[in-house]
Structure 1
Amino acid sequence: MSEQTEQRKAAGRGGRKRDPSRDDAILEATTEVLGEVGYARLTMDMVAARARAGKATMYRRWASKQDLVLDAVERFRGAQVDLAALPDTGSVRGDLVALFRPDTPEQSARRMRDLVGLASVLWHEPTLAEAADAALVGPWAQAHRTVMLRGVERGEVPREADIDTICRVLPTMAAYRSLVERKPFDRDFLLASIDVVIMPALRAARDATAPTSHSGG
């Protein structure tokens, strides 16, 4: 959760004690409406109607649309991947493949809607752009970074590898494929990305530092 959100919540807004279950319902409704109409057209009234919440309740909890969307973005980010339960297959490639969970058609449509909503925040609200970008790429980049660092400890990945950059490549490619190309991030694309881009990039540091042999005449 961002420092901005922590400060805002610490300040409080009075009224009755917050109900986490209602907060979740309202933030889920925010994500849905955001994906359907975009940030510019989203209103607090739309979200209240979708969540079946009173407007007074909404404004006691979030003073503005910006505050509401920020919390919705951070909720989306937190739900992406459980860093405490990452697969451990014994290899970086195996772990990256194991992280993939194919969506049902309904899940795929919902994920696309949510991503489009987050992208609209990037385009229309510069003050929230960092949070939206972090939600799109951040959780998966962190998961990939953890997997790659385990590879370093096993000796599978050279310590010179630029993991901080490489860990963002696949999540960024996934976001581009979904948002720009409007194509599913399926297993075939995942495997091609891992085998053609990610694993060669991780090995490149070792190849660059390996001694070259010279034949004498």
Structure 2
Amino acid sequence: MTDDDGPSPPEQTGRTGRKRDHTRDAKILDATLDVLAEVGYSGMTMDMVAARAKAGKATVYRRWSSKGELVVDAIARMKYSKADAGNLPDTGTLRGDLLALYRPQTIEEGERTLRIMTALASMISTEHTFAEAADTALVKPWADAHLAFMRRAVDRGEIPATADIETLSRVVPTMAAYCALVQRRPFDREFLVTLVDGVIMPALHL
């Protein structure tokens, strides 16, 4: 799984109920990730993000009431890009689909991702109210993609309809988040294969 930037998530209203204008969002969220990677969560300010995005401070503050909220949305954009339900791989097998969603990163990309995840962990530890939102941004896009894969596998008769796909769809995304946030190490293909072959596929066929 990679954390490359991509298309913004579908139109949504923010946690305060305001309607979002995405005209400037992409640049601001990209700038947020850049600043996070460079200075961490404690060192980041919304003014720094505005300057990096070449956006007016008022533009940023109108969209996000706090830097915690801004970080959550930036992480959601980063994760959504490769787990877009409209652009999922279809290899013809569940195992193939699960592995095809993974994208290797360069050393530089991996280091940047870990810095961003370290910043996210710092945010969660100091602003507990964002823990659930961070889980939604970090885990849910991938869990939804895995659930879509598993539903397809059920439809084609590859796995039984009785399999607990709701639970199992969260295993790999949750472990990926654990690697990044707790162990502070990249989630690599070797570990993904171990999870898919040693945990997911056997559990689906029980």
TM-score for the superposition, normalised by structure 2: 0.81
> How far is the alpha carbon of 1:6 from its aligned partner?
7.0
Which string of whole-angstrom CA distances, capped at 9 and with x for unpartnered residues, describes residues 176-199 of structure 1? 223333333222222111111111
Trace 1:135-174 onto structure 2 (pairs within 5 A).
Answer: 135-174=137-176
Identify which of 114, 117, 136 aligns with 1:115.
117
Amino acid at match of 2:130: L
Q: Secondary structure at the match of 2:19?
A: helix
The equivalent of 2:19 in structure 1 is 9
For residues 134 and 23 of structure 1, the distance between their equivalents in structure 2, rounded to whole angstroms, comes to 19
- Name the CA shift for 1:180/1:160 in 2 (closer, same or farther; >3 Å): same
Amino acid at match of 2:161: R
The equivalent of 1:33 in structure 2 is 35
CA contact (8 A) 1:74 1:131 kept: no
1:126 aligns with 2:128: yes
Gaps of 5+ in 2: 1-10
For residues 30 and 138 of structure 1, the distance between their equivalents in structure 2, rounded to whole angstroms, comes to 21
The equivalent of 1:90 in structure 2 is 92
Which 4+ stretches in 1 moved above 4 angstroms? none
The equivalent of 1:209 in structure 2 is none
Amino acid at match of 2:18: R
CA contact (8 A) 1:38 1:121 kept: no
- Name the CA shift for 1:107/1:195 in 2 (closer, same or farther; >3 Å): same
The equivalent of 2:201 in structure 1 is 199
1:55 aligns with 2:40: no
Gaps of 5+ in 1: 11-17, 205-217
Q: Which has the larger radius of gyration?
A: 1
TM-score for the superposition, normalised by structure 1: 0.78
Of structures 1 and 2, the one scoring higher in RCO (CA 8 A, sep 6+) is: 2
For residues 69 and 197 of structure 2, the distance between their equivalents in structure 1, rounded to whole angstroms, comes to 41
For residues 80 and 113 of structure 1, the distance between their equivalents in structure 2, rounded to whole angstroms, comes to 19
Q: Secondary structure at the match of 1:7?
A: coil
For residues 93 and 203 of structure 1, the distance between their equivalents in structure 2, rounded to whole angstroms, comes to 13
CA contact (8 A) 2:13 2:19 kept: no
> How far is the alpha carbon of 1:123 from its aligned partner?
1.9
> How far is the alpha carbon of 1:77 from its aligned partner?
3.8
For residues 35 and 65 of structure 1, the distance between their equivalents in structure 2, rounded to whole angstroms, comes to 14
CA contact (8 A) 1:28 1:72 kept: yes
CA contact (8 A) 2:33 2:116 kept: yes
- Name the CA shift for 1:69/1:181 in 2 (closer, same or farther; >3 Å): closer
The percentage of counterpart residues that share the same residue type is 56
Q: Which moves more between the two structures, 172-181 or 133-142?
A: 172-181
- Name the CA shift for 1:155/1:118 in 2 (closer, same or farther; >3 Å): same
> How far is the alpha carbon of 1:133 from its aligned partner?
0.8
